Amino acid sequence: MTRQLDLNDIQGNIPRAYGRFAFPFARYFFLNIRNQDAGRAFVTTVRPRVTTAAWWTPDTKPKVTLNIGFTHPGLCMLGLPTRTLQGMPESFTDGMKARAFILGDRHPDRVEQDDSNWCAHWDPIWRENRAGDAGRDVHIWISMNAQLAQLGTDQPVPDLEAQTDWLRGLCSDSGVRMLGGHGRDGAGDFQPASAIFTKVGDAKFPTPREHFGLTDGIGDPVFQGQYPPDREKEAVIGRGKWMGRATGWQPIAAGEFLLGHPDESQELPPTAMPPNVMHNGSFMAYRKLHENVGTFNDVMATEAKGFARVMNVPEQEARETLIAKMVGRWSDGVPTATAPTFEAWQATRDQIGLNDPDPARAMQAQRAYLRSAASSDFRYADDIDGYKCPGGAHLRRVNTRDYLDPLNTPGKRNRDATTQLNKRRRILRRGLPYGPDDSAHKDDSTEQGVTMMIIGASLFRQFEFVQQQWIQYGLDFHQGNHTCPMLGDHSLHTRYTIPSDPKSGKPPYIMGGLKTFVETRGGDYFFLPSMTALHMIALGIVDPT
Amino acid sequence: MPDFDTGHLFLTFLTPIRRGTTHDLTGTAMSHEQAVRITLGLLPTALQSPATIKIGENSPFARSLQTHLCRFVVIEDAIYNGRTPEDALIASIRDRDPITPQPVDKLGNAYLLFAADIDAVMDEGDPLPVTLDAARQGRVRDAWARRLWERMAPELRSIYENCVGFDEVQTGADFARYLKKCQVETTMPFHDYWISPPKLSNLPVPLLAIAALLPLGITVLAFLAQVFGVQAVPRLGIAPGWLALGSAAVSAAVLYGLYRYVVANGQKPMPPAQFGDLPSVLKSLYLQQHFADFALAHQGSSAKNLHAAFGAFLETHTPADTMAPTQPPGVISVKAAQQTGPVA
Is residue B105 pLDDT above 60, yes or no? Answer: yes
Residue A150 CA, chain-centre distance (Å), reads 27
CB B276 within 8 A of CB B255: no
**Within an 8 Å CB–CB cutoff, is residue A114 touching chain B?**
yes
Interchain pair A507, B299: CB under 8 A: yes
Min Cα distance A381 → chain B (Å) is: 20
Q: State mean pLDDT over B98-126.
A: 94
Q: What is the pLDDT along chain A (545 residues), one digit of tens a residue?
A: 466 899 999 999 999 999 888 999 999 999 999 999 999 999 999 999 999 999 999 999 999 999 999 999 999 999 999 999 999 999 999 999 999 999 999 999 999 889 989 999 999 999 999 999 999 999 999 999 999 999 999 999 999 999 999 999 999 999 999 999 999 889 989 999 999 999 988 999 999 999 999 999 898 999 999 998 889 999 999 999 999 999 999 999 999 999 999 999 999 988 899 999 999 999 999 999 999 999 999 999 999 999 999 999 999 999 999 999 999 999 999 999 999 999 999 999 999 999 999 998 999 999 999 999 999 999 999 999 999 999 999 999 999 999 999 999 888 999 999 999 999 999 999 999 999 988 899 999 999 999 999 999 999 999 999 999 999 999 999 999 999 999 999 999 999 999 999 998 889 999 999 999 999 999 999 999 999 999 999 999 999 88
pLDDT band at B250 (very low <50, low <70, confident <90, very high): very high
Write the pLDDT tens digit of every residue in B76-97: 999 998 998 889 999 999 998 8
**Within an 8 Å CB–CB cutoff, is residue B303 touching chain A?**
no
Nearest by CB: A510 against B53, B54, B295:
B295
| Residue A217 backbone zone (phi > 0: left; psi -120 to 50: alpha; other: beta) | left
**Within an 8 Å CB–CB cutoff, is residue B296 touching chain A?**
yes
**Within an 8 Å CB–CB cutoff, is residue B295 touching chain A?**
yes
Q: 0.80 cut: is pTM over it?
A: yes
Give the residue from B55, B299, B301 with the most A CB atoms within 10 Å of its CB, the best one to mutate: B299
CB A423 within 8 A of CB A252: yes
Q: What is the DSSP letter of B323?
A: S
Spatial neighbors of A52 by CB under 8 A, at least 6 apart, are A7, A8, A9, A10, A11, A12, A531
Residue, of A200 and B9, whose pLDDT is higher: B9
Nearest by CB: A111 against B51, B295, B299:
B51
| Range scoring the smallest mean pLDDT among A145-149, B215-219, B263-267 | B263-267
Spatial neighbors of A329 by CB under 8 A, at least 6 apart, are A214, A215, A218, A335, A336, A395
Spatial CA neighbour of A72 closest among A98, A54, A46, A53? A98
CA–CA separation, B126 and B105 (whole Å): 45
Interchain pair B54, A111: CB under 8 A: yes
**Within an 8 Å CB–CB cutoff, is residue A495 touching chain B?**
yes
Dihedral, CA atoms, B41, B46, B48, B53, nearest 10 degrees? 80
Nearest CA in chain B to A305: B300
**Within an 8 Å CB–CB cutoff, is residue A1 touching chain B?**
no
Spatial CA neighbour of A440 closest among A193, A190, A197? A197
Interchain pair B299, A109: CB under 8 A: no
DSSP string spanning B214-241? HHHHHHHHHHHHHHTT--S-TTT-S-HH
pLDDT of A428: 97
Task: Name the residue type at position A117.
Answer: N
CB A462 within 8 A of CB A256: yes
Spatial neighbors of A200 by CB under 8 A, at least 6 apart, are A359, A360, A363
pLDDT band at B234 (very low <50, low <70, confident <90, very high): confident
Give the residue from A107, A109, A309, A478 with the most B CB atoms within 10 Å of its CB, the best one to mutate: A109
Q: State mean pLDDT over B136-164.
A: 97
On chain A, the residues whose CB falls within 8 A of the CB of B299 are 306, 310, 507, 509-510, 512
Task: Name the residue type at position B258.
Answer: L
Interchain pair B54, A114: CB under 8 A: yes
**Within an 8 Å CB–CB cutoff, is residue B299 touching chain A?**
yes
Is residue B343 pLDDT above 80, yes or no? Answer: no
Spatial CA neighbour of B332 closest among A489, A480, A104? A480
Is residue B326 pLDDT above 60, yes or no? Answer: yes
Q: Environment class of residue B109 by beta-carbon count within 10 Å: exposed (0-12), middle (13-18) or buried (19+)?
A: middle
Longest dimension (CA), chain A: 71
pLDDT of B344: 42
Nearest CA in chain B to A312: B300
Spatial CA neighbour of A139 closest among A129, A153, A149, A127? A129
Each residue of A197-234: b (16+ CB within 10 Å) or e?
Answer: bbeeeeebbbbbbbbbebbbbbbbbbbbbbbeeeebee
pLDDT of A222: 96
pLDDT of B342: 52
Interchain pair A306, B299: CB under 8 A: yes
Q: Would you call A409 helix, strand, or coil by DSSP? A: coil
pLDDT of B341: 59
Q: Environment class of residue B14 by beta-carbon count within 10 Å: exposed (0-12), middle (13-18) or buried (19+)?
A: middle
Q: What are phi and psi of B160, to 5 degrees?
A: -80, -10
On chain A, the residues whose CB falls within 8 A of the CB of B300 are 306, 309-310
Interfacial A residues in 276-315 facing B (CB < 8 Å): 306, 309-310
Min Cα distance B297 → chain A (Å) is: 9
What percentage of chain B carries pLDDT values higher than 70? Answer: 98
Q: How many residues does chain B have?
A: 344
Interchain pair B296, A495: CB under 8 A: yes
pLDDT of A2: 63
Task: Name the residue type at position A108.
Answer: P
Q: State mean pLDDT over B108-114.
A: 96
Q: What is the DSSP letter of A212?
A: T
Nearest by CB: A109 against B50, B295, B300:
B50
Nearest CA in chain B to A306: B300
Min Cα distance B42 → chain A (Å) is: 19
Interchain pair A495, B292: CB under 8 A: yes
CB A26 within 8 A of CB A288: no
CB A122 within 8 A of CB A131: no
CB A282 within 8 A of CB A14: yes
CA–CA separation, B34 and B42 (whole Å): 13
